Amino acid sequence: MTAALAIEGVCRRIGGREILRGLSLEIAPGSCLVLAGESGSGKTSLLRLVGGLDRADAGRIHIGAVLVEDARATFLPPERRGLGMVFQDFALWPHLSVLENVALAVPARPGGRAGRERRARDLLARLGVEACAPRLPATLSGGQQQRVGIARALAAEPRLLLLDEPFSSLDLESRESLRGELRALIVEAGLTALCVSHDPADCAQLADRVAVLEAGTISQCAAPEALFAAPASPYAARLAGWFGGVVVAAARDGADARIVLGGAPVTLPGAGARLGPARRARLFWPAGAVRADAAGAIAAECRAAQFDAGSWRGLYRVAGVTGSLATRAAERPVPGPARLDVGPDRLCLFPMEEDA
């Protein structure tokens, strides 16, 4: 099956700095890929290349079977790529009504202007903003404007939908409701979408696959549940909501790795290969892998408690650890001396770069 989007060995340099480094990525037809990365990772640069708003220095980009960019002779402009685009700042034409904004994006069809307006009204109704049709964009809320932006993108009947952090400027309620509606639209219409985001909720709720972009390359590409269960980098671990990032002394022991927490030795099964020769590492763990337990082997001191979305987060000082170990529990932790228990097979070490 031909990929809906195929990016092969793409490089981009700006001002002598390498933004994208031989990046390759594919999106299957009818699926949504969320491209996640920190600020400066290159995700917006990649979106601009796919959208035809910038040129690559090397590599090739196919949309379906069509070569749209080869960094040399071939370059299809945005209007010939069959794209729909949704921007974080809405980018609606301010002097046109909502209906006109959407109708202008509808391809020519029987019925002329009336036919385009019927299609536009259908899309506005699907997104719950049909009543806004005669209004100007400036009179709408942010959530309403983004619904119109999505309707306009879909009106173009795109082969590929590009979304540039589409929910980042919305309030929490609008963000959550619109994310769910957009996911339903993508599934129902069999759309192919590439969404740039740094929001874990977009990765979990919108994506079929998540590609993590770090330092200009893809460090991990997986289904959301796989990424959240086994992140491949410190950034991916934070994206997945894991606790940690604390620095610990570590040593490889064959296939395993050893650390010491609060005077208690802990062996992490199978962690030796990733640790390699490094002597220090960043330690991450999912909720439940570290917990307060009076019978635990690790001596600790509870420094603080924070209420966090229906549960309590405890912050513990532990000898041999730079930073605090965090736990999550139903009851509020009591400040003072404590004992901790860990599940070694659920801990994850990432070697410090300067030691690796």
Question: What structural domains does the chain harbor?
Answer: 5-234 (3.40.50.300), 242-351 (no CATH)
* Residues paired with residue 281 on neighbouring β-strands, in sequence order: 248, 351
pLDDT in tens for each of the 356 residues of the chain?
A: 789 999 999 999 998 899 999 999 999 999 999 999 998 899 999 999 999 999 999 999 999 999 999 988 899 999 999 999 998 888 899 999 999 999 999 987 777 888 899 999 999 999 999 999 999 999 999 889 999 999 999 998 899 999 999 888 888 888 899 999 999 989 988 999 999 998 999 999 999 999 999 999 999 999 999 999 999 999 999 999 999 999 999 999 999 999 999 999 999 999 999 999 999 999 999 999 999 999 999 999 999 999 988 899 999 999 989 899 999 999 999 999 999 999 999 999 999 976 54
In this prediction the pTM is: 0.91
The residues near 183 (Cβ < 8 Å, ≥ 6 apart) are 32, 205, 206
* Residues paired with residue 251 on neighbouring β-strands, in sequence order: 258
Q: What pLDDT does residue 355 have?
A: 53
DSSP at 203 = H
Whether residue 298 contacts residue 341, with contact meaning beta carbons closer than 8 Å, is answered with yes
- 149 CB burial (10 A radius; 0-12, 13-18, 19+): buried
Tokens representing 140 are 């709408």
Cα→Cα distances 158→20, 41, 86, 246, 305, Å: 26, 27, 12, 45, 49
* Residues paired with residue 133 on neighbouring β-strands, in sequence order: none
CA-closest candidate to residue 240, choices 270, 271, 284: 284
Tokens representing 74 are 């071939």
